[in-house]
Chains A and B, each alone.
Chain A
């Protein structure tokens, strides 16, 4: 079929900020969609609030709106742009919701916009619980029996029909409490009684429990002519009961016979047809491990995290093909870009194993509930490819960058038997390592099978590794014969893992291995198991005979990516890596990218000239570089991951392009950095290094409290804290960190001043500062969690000059070639340096977009020898734009139980949004709206602030009161406010009895909470309980007075119904 008639201009909606469950995969999908549309000659309009994406790049669409994705804003974009079609299914759940809402509001009809891709009624059939159920019943596809009950009798009646086990899920409770699995009638009655009581609306959902069944997923595509194909099947190692986003997943299915598989495949085709999906669709099944019985668990009528994984696992570009289907093309009319000869209408066949491993944020949230269940908690994931399960699994584990090179995990040897069993039954992020430990101790495979419900096929594979590990440990280095070495490598054991168990140094293992000729080969991901010649330069390593990736003789450069998305290292670094590759291509270099994140644009097979899907660890990276022999490696765009590799690479004789290792080290090493600053006469807050508790106290006494304390080696503010007195300091030193001569603790004076940040580009002669950002929250809140404003408002000329001067001198003194990020604090009229990162930072995409300076492009060209002046740029501060850009953080607290939401020096946000306007309040309004903050236009605001903050809070409270809000406060705060003439209503703290704060929150009587941290982060404290309650009841809660002040400013300046202008990216510079 030809392209749908009358479709010339298409509006694409992105998925907005990165949150748990909705990550970089939608940038990958959206980017493919925009390109696919333009390939077909469409004019593309895009709306996405997330600036850290490739899809919001100026060259991706004709008109780009970085605006809040709300029905109101999308409607206005439609009004202004008058697109012919609307494509929602590449924007995740946000996109689908937008389609449903706009259709309901009549917007699509009013402006005569065609919904492209899966039709509305098909979306409803998949999304609406009842419609889905009845559709499945119509085609005889089983869904798990379920019922909503509000009495015990109803529950008992349901159990009589369905049997046990059942799972009870009370509706609207705090922290998902009150539910659980029940195996008999007594448990059912008990749990339902508790659950109904805990439920605000006195309701619970009861469902047949499929815990322990195999969880299988199939990715399906369907076109407008009803042609259907499946792209990839996936089997979860973790059976039903753990969210697939939190499961280790293998592709293709491993333990299904052809009969089992075809049964589910046939069902998948039936389902996608019955729903009427046009495009991509993900279908999840629960399959009884002991029969042909199965249930359809869930259908996503859109591209998803799984489809991104399936695309990278097979090489089949699902999002691109889904987009072409959406505008009317059929599968047999769409070219298969992998072979360049055949069509998109075929099913990929793969001749390797793919494993996806989730990356959880528990390293950041020490107190979070790590238990895995139906709520996804991972922020990102890695993917690994090999020709063996063991190989793919071990590659995946080391790609996580959690400090373990193999299956040995710290602390496992100390677990007692009961703990091992318990941890096998109740999964958390460490279960695989516990499983390995159980095998090490000789626990029977059958028993592990019973406890974990994992298929014994996988347990045996893990045992293969453990057995080999034990063999190496017993024999020591003498075990390392060429045959055993080859066996180790075929099972994916890193040199570092072999080193760990044999005692031989990693470098020695590597040297020995190379001397014995045990080297990896690289094979191609080609969608067709080598049946046809393919063009994809997409490779993975394996220990087999034939290498398919002979290096070319072109000039080439390798760019190291950022690995999995985690808190502190997000999609921004993928943006930077991709732009670096593009800049290198412009300079006619062959580009090589190494990365392992399946969600990203950087791992799309046509981003770089060659893609190596590999762990970002020294051994794996060196293998590639030694084979490819590029002119050098660029390490400054993938966040901290490649920076951490730099020293290893240099030692192996690899050239780091850009800022040298020595200069990187000068920024990272505290002492050398201090020396540098002293030399340059650039001030920093006073501080010192402490090697013991008493030394820390000494330093703190000398410089005065409050002080910022942190371990010397940190990533993204981990374990940092601000302490106000000697008692807290001693407590921190004794509990939070392990201080040793090798790992000292840094103690710095904490200046409660304004935080300022710059990203600069330097070429050794000239230093260009594209812009200065100011944070709304003062120093002490991690820069990633702060609202950042460009251009920095209320910053006087003197401060500006100081910033430009310090930044330029530091960049020159450090011989920066490329990017540098510097954070400052402005305190009592003086600028102090807080931190320097010799690399691209998370603000680079945001600043590139708002200032129009192609920062990564320039930096990459400088790295390759160009000069700023030669590219038409002067040094110093780049002329400011007329527009204000506000970047606001986005959090995923709703998904992480037991995590304190208060802002501090440790980063907690998962994503960001951008608001742009000519006026600051409007830009801020847009940013906050896009970040999900609801602005109550009237109602009750609760203040409960620490004593130290009361004075500062007063004008803010007065401001809100003056706008007509009712002020509620807890005893202390109420008394203070009352004394200062603010009308205030006192409310009870939880321990003061009902009705207390939580009751009021539950009843919806509080619309905004301002709560500042007293001290400590123990969950039992009152403030913590209030803050968690706000998360679970979706009431906005501000923990920084600065944020509260900013919101007050918005609400004061900006009345409801005010005209908010849309500003397309293409007009930022006009």
Chain B
């Protein structure tokens, strides 16, 4: 079956459909990871987005039972150069196409993904519309143009838990404010024996305090951070009462709560190869990224907040630390999945902070 991806600026790519026979709008973004499509497809932070993989062969190792980052896929569409329908890996249990079809994700192969990536790099991420079947390209362009903007949508509620649940452990109590948390964040905490109490994004400071946490952890998630005002309010109230930590959207939420500002990046960072410098040690780590918004460094001037990590490629803020209180956060993904595990130490620092050490 034919498929068409149209961008709001009129650019059209045609190819074959290999996922759900449906259509979707979304913000078109590219990911440069050469492995990890299963994790990308199931990472809730991609909600609202049509994901382009720059690596040309996708599906080689199929879909397996273990590497889900959430219960299902939240991507709006999936764009690849070549889709492999004969996966080969000892853990493979499904073809990617079957998974996408079940997940209702329209998908297109046969696209010059490099040309598309270059386009997005030059003109920035933009809205797109992915349609399958016999459709008129001009119509699809129109639909792309009339799609809503990503900012202003309440994507977090779409992906986050609606109610509390607890994963028991023998160690400290972590309240994880779920903005679309990846499974591997929970796994990392569980590996460290934490009791993890997962709460919805709208949980108030009072409700969280009632859980008597040793720390509060704001997770990754989709969309524009300014759209999660309730969570920002909650985190602001918690400042100074309990150690706070955030990853990705959680990092942006904490930055906003502390008085900083965020902005939308031209095409964001999505991939597994970004060098991030830990300003305290001078060491550089290769990290996993997935963000389209960033904390404005200049907005932190005068606050009790220091930049703890920067991206070596473009010098953007990749981590912040409160100068006095036990609060820190990183923009990238120390939990990996997909990507390098080099930043596992961030979780150790989190544990130290909870224990009142290492600040």
Interface residues of A, Cβ cutoff 8 Å to B: 225-230, 252-262, 265-266, 269, 289-291, 331-332, 342-343, 345-353, 387-389, 455-457, 460, 523, 528-533, 544-546, 548
Task: Check A258–B38 contact: CB distance below 8 A.
Answer: yes
* Nearest neighbor of A463 in chain B, beta-carbon distance: B86
* Nearest neighbor of B342 in chain A, beta-carbon distance: A269
B337 at the interface (CB under 8 A from A): yes
Surface stretch bound by A, among B59-67, B149-157, B205-213: B59-67
Task: Check A351–B55 contact: CB distance below 8 A.
Answer: yes
Question: Known: A229-B286, A351-B113. Is A388-B89 also a contact (CB below 8 A)?
Answer: no
Q: What CA separation (Å) do A225 and B285 show in the bound complex? A: 12
Task: Check A257–B61 contact: CB distance below 8 A.
Answer: yes
Q: Across the interface, which residues of A come within 8 angstroms of B282, CB to CB?
A: 225
- Shortest distance from the beta carbon of A328 to any chain B beta carbon, whole Å: 15
Q: Across the interface, which residues of A come within 8 angstroms of B88, CB to CB?
A: 255, 455-457, 460
Q: What CA separation (Å) do A230 and B273 show in the bound complex? A: 9
Q: What CA separation (Å) do A257 and B91 show in the bound complex? A: 9
* Nearest neighbor of A227 in chain B, beta-carbon distance: B284
Complex A-B: 27 CB contacts under 8 Å: A226-B283, A255-B60, A256-B89, A257-B35, A257-B38, A257-B61, A258-B39, A258-B337, A259-B66, A260-B61, A261-B35, A266-B342, A289-B90, A331-B284, A332-B275, A332-B312, A345-B284, A347-B286, A349-B32, A349-B55, A349-B273, A387-B56, A388-B57, A388-B82, A460-B86, A530-B30, A546-B114
- Shortest distance from the beta carbon of B67 to any chain A beta carbon, whole Å: 6
Surface stretch bound by A, among B98-106, B115-123, B133-141: B115-123
Q: What CA separation (Å) do A530 and B273 show in the bound complex? A: 13
Q: Across the interface, which residues of B come within 8 angstroms of A529, CB to CB?
A: 32, 54-55, 114, 117, 271
Question: Known: A259-B66, A388-B82, A456-B86. Is A348-B273 also a contact (CB below 8 A)?
Answer: yes
Task: Check A544–B112 contact: CB distance below 8 A.
Answer: yes
- Shortest distance from the beta carbon of A280 to any chain B beta carbon, whole Å: 16
Q: What CA separation (Å) do A230 and B342 show in the bound complex? A: 11
Task: Check A346–B118 contact: CB distance below 8 A.
Answer: no
Task: Check B34–A252 contact: CB distance below 8 A.
Answer: yes
Task: Check B54–A255 contact: CB distance below 8 A.
Answer: no
Which residues in window 318-340 of B have CB below 8 A to A? Answer: 336-340
* Nearest neighbor of B64 in chain A, beta-carbon distance: A257
B341 at the interface (CB under 8 A from A): yes
Among candidates B33, B86, B273, B338, residue contacting A346 with C-beta atoms closer than 8 Å: B273
Q: Which of A227, A260, A388, A532 is most buried by chain B, counting CB atoms within 10 A of its CB?
A: A227
B170 at the interface (CB under 8 A from A): no
Q: Across the interface, which residues of A come within 8 angstroms of B284, CB to CB?
A: 227, 331-332, 345
Q: What CA separation (Å) do A460 and B57 show in the bound complex? A: 14
Q: Across the interface, which residues of B come within 8 angstroms of A269, CB to CB?
A: 342
Q: Across the interface, which residues of A come within 8 angstroms of B67, CB to CB?
A: 257-259
Q: What CA separation (Å) do A345 and B56 show in the bound complex? A: 24
Q: Which of A228, A265, A269, A351 is most buried by chain B, counting CB atoms within 10 A of its CB?
A: A351
B95 at the interface (CB under 8 A from A): no
Task: Check A346–B121 contact: CB distance below 8 A.
Answer: no
Q: Across the interface, which residues of A come within 8 angstroms of B56, CB to CB?
A: 351-353, 387-388
B36 at the interface (CB under 8 A from A): yes
- Shortest distance from the beta carbon of A183 to any chain B beta carbon, whole Å: 22
Among candidates A257, A262, A291, residue contacting B340 with C-beta atoms closer than 8 Å: A262
Task: Check A387–B338 contact: CB distance below 8 A.
Answer: no
Q: Across the interface, which residues of A come within 8 angstroms of B112, CB to CB?
A: 544-546
Q: What CA separation (Å) do A529 and B284 show in the bound complex? A: 21
Task: Check A258–B89 contact: CB distance below 8 A.
Answer: no
Q: Between A and B, how many residue pairs show CB distances below 8 Å?
A: 158
- Shortest distance from the beta carbon of A925 to any chain B beta carbon, whole Å: 51
Q: What CA separation (Å) do A460 and B54 show in the bound complex? A: 23
B173 at the interface (CB under 8 A from A): no
Task: Check B312–A346 contact: CB distance below 8 A.
Answer: yes
Interface residues of B, count at CB 8 A = 52
Task: Check A225–B283 contact: CB distance below 8 A.
Answer: yes
Task: Check A291–B66 contact: CB distance below 8 A.
Answer: no
- Shortest distance from the beta carbon of A656 to any chain B beta carbon, whole Å: 34
Among candidates A289, A343, A460, A532, residue contacting B275 with C-beta atoms closer than 8 Å: A343
Q: Across the interface, which residues of A come within 8 angstroms of B271, CB to CB?
A: 349, 529, 531
Q: What CA separation (Å) do A923 and B55 show in the bound complex? A: 54
Q: Across the interface, which residues of B come within 8 angstroms of A533, CB to CB?
A: 121
Question: Known: A259-B66, A531-B32. Is A346-B117 also a contact (CB below 8 A)?
Answer: no
Q: Which of B32, B66, B91 is most buried by chain A, counting CB atoms within 10 A of its CB?
A: B32
* Nearest neighbor of A252 in chain B, beta-carbon distance: B34
Q: What CA separation (Å) do A955 and B13 show in the bound complex? A: 82
Which residues in window 58-93 of B have CB below 8 A to A? Answer: 60-61, 64, 66-67, 81-82, 84, 86-91
Q: Across the interface, which residues of A come within 8 angstroms of B118, CB to CB?
A: 530, 546, 548
Q: A252-B34, A257-B38, A533-B121 are in contact. List 6 more A-B contacts (CB 8 A).
A: A229-B286, A256-B61, A346-B312, A349-B32, A531-B30, A532-B313
Q: What CA separation (Å) do A739 and B91 show in the bound complex? A: 57
B291 at the interface (CB under 8 A from A): no
B145 at the interface (CB under 8 A from A): no
- Shortest distance from the beta carbon of B254 to any chain A beta carbon, whole Å: 26
Q: Across the interface, which residues of B come within 8 angstroms of A546, CB to CB?
A: 112, 114-115, 118
* Nearest neighbor of A351 in chain B, beta-carbon distance: B54
Task: Check B35–A253 contact: CB distance below 8 A.
Answer: yes
- Contact flags B273-317 to A (C-beta < 8 A → 1, else 0): 111010000111010000000000000000000000000110000
- Shortest distance from the beta carbon of B62 to any chain A beta carbon, whole Å: 8
Task: Check B60–A346 contact: CB distance below 8 A.
Answer: no
Question: Known: A258-B67, A259-B67. Is A345-B275 also a contact (CB below 8 A)?
Answer: yes
Q: Across the interface, which residues of A come within 8 angstroms of B81, CB to CB?
A: 387, 544
Q: Across the interface, which residues of B come within 8 angstroms of A226, CB to CB?
A: 283
- Shortest distance from the beta carbon of B333 to any chain A beta carbon, whole Å: 12
- Shortest distance from the beta carbon of B208 to any chain A beta carbon, whole Å: 33
Task: Check B114–A351 contact: CB distance below 8 A.
Answer: yes
Q: What CA separation (Å) do A982 and B36 show in the bound complex? A: 77
Task: Check A523–B89 contact: CB distance below 8 A.
Answer: no
**6 nearest CB pairs, A to B:** A546-B115, A258-B36, A457-B88, A545-B112, A347-B273, A529-B54
Task: Check B89–A291 contact: CB distance below 8 A.
Answer: no
Question: Known: A388-B56, A530-B121. Is A291-B341 also a contact (CB below 8 A)?
Answer: no
Task: Check A530–B34 contact: CB distance below 8 A.
Answer: no
- Shortest distance from the beta carbon of B173 to any chain A beta carbon, whole Å: 29
- Shortest distance from the beta carbon of A527 to any chain B beta carbon, whole Å: 9
Q: Across the interface, which residues of A come within 8 angstroms of B38, CB to CB?
A: 257-258
Task: Check A262–B339 contact: CB distance below 8 A.
Answer: yes
- Shortest distance from the beta carbon of B70 to any chain A beta carbon, whole Å: 16
Among candidates A260, A261, A345, A387, residue contacting B82 with C-beta atoms closer than 8 Å: A387
Q: What CA separation (Å) do A456 and B88 show in the bound complex? A: 7
Among candidates B57, B90, B338, residue contacting A353 with C-beta atoms closer than 8 Å: B57
Task: Check A523–B114 contact: CB distance below 8 A.
Answer: yes
Task: Check B86–A457 contact: CB distance below 8 A.
Answer: yes
Q: What CA separation (Å) do A253 and B55 show in the bound complex? A: 11
Q: Which of A252, A254, A533 is most buried by chain B, counting CB atoms within 10 A of its CB?
A: A254
Task: Check B34–A544 contact: CB distance below 8 A.
Answer: no
* Nearest neighbor of B337 in chain A, beta-carbon distance: A258
Task: Check B86–A530 contact: CB distance below 8 A.
Answer: no
Question: Known: A331-B284, A346-B312. Is A531-B117 also a contact (CB below 8 A)?
Answer: yes
Q: What CA separation (Å) do A257 and B64 show in the bound complex? A: 9
* Nearest neighbor of A288 in chain B, beta-carbon distance: B90
Q: Across the interface, which residues of B come within 8 angstroms of A352, CB to CB?
A: 56
Among candidates B87, B91, B115, B117, residue contacting A544 with C-beta atoms closer than 8 Å: B115
Among candidates A291, A523, A528, residue contacting B90 with C-beta atoms closer than 8 Å: A291
Task: Check A530–B117 contact: CB distance below 8 A.
Answer: yes
- Shortest distance from the beta carbon of B42 to any chain A beta carbon, whole Å: 12
Q: Across the interface, which residues of A come within 8 angstroms of B277, CB to CB?
A: 332
* Nearest neighbor of B56 in chain A, beta-carbon distance: A387
Task: Check A227–B283 contact: CB distance below 8 A.
Answer: yes
- Shortest distance from the beta carbon of B97 to any chain A beta carbon, whole Å: 15
Question: Known: A258-B38, A346-B286, A349-B271. Is A389-B114 also a contact (CB below 8 A)?
Answer: no
Q: Across the interface, which residues of B come within 8 angstroms of A548, CB to CB?
A: 118
Q: Across the interface, which residues of B come within 8 angstroms of A350, CB to CB?
A: 34, 55
